[in-house]
Amino acid sequence: MATTTNKYYAYPALANGITVTSGTSWANGSWTQIVPASTITSTFYITGLTWSFIGATATATTYEFLFELATGAAASEVSIIQVPASLRNITAAGYLPTNFVMFPEPVQVSANTRISCRISNGSTTAYAIPAVKIFYQAP
Protein backbone atom coordinates (compact mmCIF):
# COMPACT_ATOMS: atom_id res chain seq x y z
CA MET A 1 0.00 0.00 0.00
CA ALA A 2 1.64 3.20 -1.15
CA THR A 3 0.44 6.51 0.22
CA THR A 4 1.43 10.12 -0.06
CA THR A 5 -0.96 11.44 2.57
CA ASN A 6 -0.59 9.15 5.61
CA LYS A 7 1.80 10.00 8.41
CA TYR A 8 3.41 7.66 10.96
CA TYR A 9 2.40 7.98 14.60
CA ALA A 10 2.82 6.17 17.90
CA TYR A 11 0.10 5.50 20.44
CA PRO A 12 0.19 6.45 23.19
CA ALA A 13 2.04 9.56 22.04
CA LEU A 14 3.67 11.99 24.44
CA ALA A 15 2.93 9.57 27.27
CA ASN A 16 4.38 6.44 28.81
CA GLY A 17 3.59 3.21 27.05
CA ILE A 18 1.11 0.76 28.52
CA THR A 19 2.20 -2.05 30.86
CA VAL A 20 0.77 -5.43 29.86
CA THR A 21 1.14 -8.48 32.13
CA SER A 22 1.74 -11.83 30.48
CA GLY A 23 0.16 -15.14 31.28
CA THR A 24 2.34 -18.13 32.16
CA SER A 25 3.12 -21.44 30.49
CA TRP A 26 1.61 -20.20 27.21
CA ALA A 27 -1.68 -19.17 28.82
CA ASN A 28 -2.87 -15.72 27.77
CA GLY A 29 -2.68 -12.78 30.11
CA SER A 30 -5.62 -10.39 30.40
CA TRP A 31 -6.43 -7.93 27.64
CA THR A 32 -5.09 -4.45 28.40
CA GLN A 33 -6.37 -1.42 26.54
CA ILE A 34 -3.80 0.45 24.47
CA VAL A 35 -6.05 2.72 22.36
CA PRO A 36 -9.41 3.72 23.85
CA ALA A 37 -12.47 3.77 21.58
CA SER A 38 -13.10 7.07 19.77
CA THR A 39 -9.45 8.15 20.11
CA ILE A 40 -8.11 7.70 16.56
CA THR A 41 -10.95 9.24 14.59
CA SER A 42 -10.10 8.19 11.04
CA THR A 43 -9.30 4.83 9.46
CA PHE A 44 -5.76 3.87 10.50
CA TYR A 45 -3.20 1.20 9.70
CA ILE A 46 -1.20 -0.54 12.44
CA THR A 47 2.37 -0.84 11.18
CA GLY A 48 4.32 -2.06 14.20
CA LEU A 49 4.66 -2.69 17.91
CA THR A 50 7.26 -1.61 20.46
CA TRP A 51 7.90 -2.55 24.09
CA SER A 52 10.59 -2.53 26.76
CA PHE A 53 11.62 -5.53 28.76
CA ILE A 54 12.02 -6.56 32.36
CA GLY A 55 15.35 -6.02 34.10
CA ALA A 56 18.34 -7.79 32.62
CA THR A 57 20.61 -10.16 34.52
CA ALA A 58 23.92 -11.84 33.80
CA THR A 59 22.17 -15.20 33.49
CA ALA A 60 21.75 -16.89 30.13
CA THR A 61 17.98 -17.01 29.92
CA THR A 62 15.86 -17.01 26.78
CA TYR A 63 12.36 -15.54 27.08
CA GLU A 64 9.70 -16.24 24.46
CA PHE A 65 6.50 -14.24 24.18
CA LEU A 66 3.45 -13.96 21.97
CA PHE A 67 1.92 -10.48 21.81
CA GLU A 68 -1.64 -10.23 20.50
CA LEU A 69 -3.42 -7.09 19.39
CA ALA A 70 -7.20 -7.06 19.23
CA THR A 71 -10.12 -4.82 18.35
CA GLY A 72 -13.42 -4.62 20.20
CA ALA A 73 -14.98 -3.66 23.49
CA ALA A 74 -13.69 -5.01 26.79
CA ALA A 75 -14.60 -8.71 27.18
CA SER A 76 -15.41 -8.87 23.43
CA GLU A 77 -11.91 -8.56 21.95
CA VAL A 78 -11.17 -10.10 18.54
CA SER A 79 -7.51 -10.87 17.84
CA ILE A 80 -6.19 -9.24 14.64
CA ILE A 81 -2.39 -9.49 14.98
CA GLN A 82 -0.01 -11.93 16.69
CA VAL A 83 3.64 -10.97 17.17
CA PRO A 84 6.08 -13.66 18.33
CA ALA A 85 9.14 -12.37 20.14
CA SER A 86 12.12 -13.81 21.95
CA LEU A 87 14.94 -12.28 23.92
CA ARG A 88 18.16 -13.77 25.20
CA ASN A 89 18.74 -12.15 28.58
CA ILE A 90 22.51 -12.22 28.97
CA THR A 91 24.22 -9.04 29.99
CA ALA A 92 26.41 -8.02 32.85
CA ALA A 93 25.47 -4.38 32.20
CA GLY A 94 21.87 -4.90 33.33
CA TYR A 95 20.42 -3.17 30.27
CA LEU A 96 18.24 -4.46 27.46
CA PRO A 97 17.26 -2.19 24.57
CA THR A 98 13.70 -1.41 23.59
CA ASN A 99 12.27 -3.98 21.20
CA PHE A 100 10.21 -3.23 18.13
CA VAL A 101 8.67 -5.05 15.21
CA MET A 102 7.58 -3.36 12.01
CA PHE A 103 4.95 -5.33 10.09
CA PRO A 104 5.56 -6.22 6.44
CA GLU A 105 2.05 -5.01 5.61
CA PRO A 106 -0.09 -2.53 7.57
CA VAL A 107 -3.28 -3.83 9.19
CA GLN A 108 -6.31 -1.61 8.53
CA VAL A 109 -8.48 -0.64 11.48
CA SER A 110 -11.73 1.33 11.35
CA ALA A 111 -11.96 4.79 12.87
CA ASN A 112 -12.81 5.03 16.58
CA THR A 113 -11.85 1.39 17.24
CA ARG A 114 -10.50 0.28 20.61
CA ILE A 115 -7.17 -1.63 20.47
CA SER A 116 -6.02 -3.91 23.28
CA CYS A 117 -3.07 -6.22 23.86
CA ARG A 118 -2.44 -9.45 25.73
CA ILE A 119 0.72 -11.50 26.12
CA SER A 120 1.52 -15.15 26.73
CA ASN A 121 4.95 -16.56 27.50
CA GLY A 122 6.62 -19.93 27.94
CA SER A 123 7.81 -19.33 31.49
CA THR A 124 6.06 -20.28 34.70
CA THR A 125 6.47 -16.63 35.74
CA ALA A 126 4.15 -13.81 34.65
CA TYR A 127 5.99 -10.68 33.49
CA ALA A 128 4.82 -7.07 33.45
CA ILE A 129 6.03 -5.82 30.07
CA PRO A 130 6.31 -2.00 30.13
CA ALA A 131 6.18 0.66 27.43
CA VAL A 132 3.94 -1.18 24.96
CA LYS A 133 2.98 1.13 22.07
CA ILE A 134 1.71 0.68 18.54
CA PHE A 135 3.01 2.39 15.43
CA TYR A 136 0.31 3.39 12.98
CA GLN A 137 -0.36 5.36 9.80
CA ALA A 138 -3.23 7.81 9.50
CA PRO A 139 -4.07 10.92 7.51
Over pLDDT 70: what percentage of the chain?
Answer: 88
pLDDT of residue 99: 87
Peptide bond into 84 cis (omega under 30): no
pLDDT, tens only, 103-128: 999 999 999 999 999 999 998 989 99
Q: Does domain 7-138 correspond to CATH entry 3.40.50.10860?
A: no
Domain boundaries, the chain: 7-138
Rounded Cα distance, 115 and 97, in Å: 25
Contact 96, 87 (CB under 8 A): yes
Nearest to 34 by CA among 14, 17, 46, 22: 17
Give 22: exposed, middle or buried? Use CB within 10 Å, 0-12, 13-18, 19+.
buried
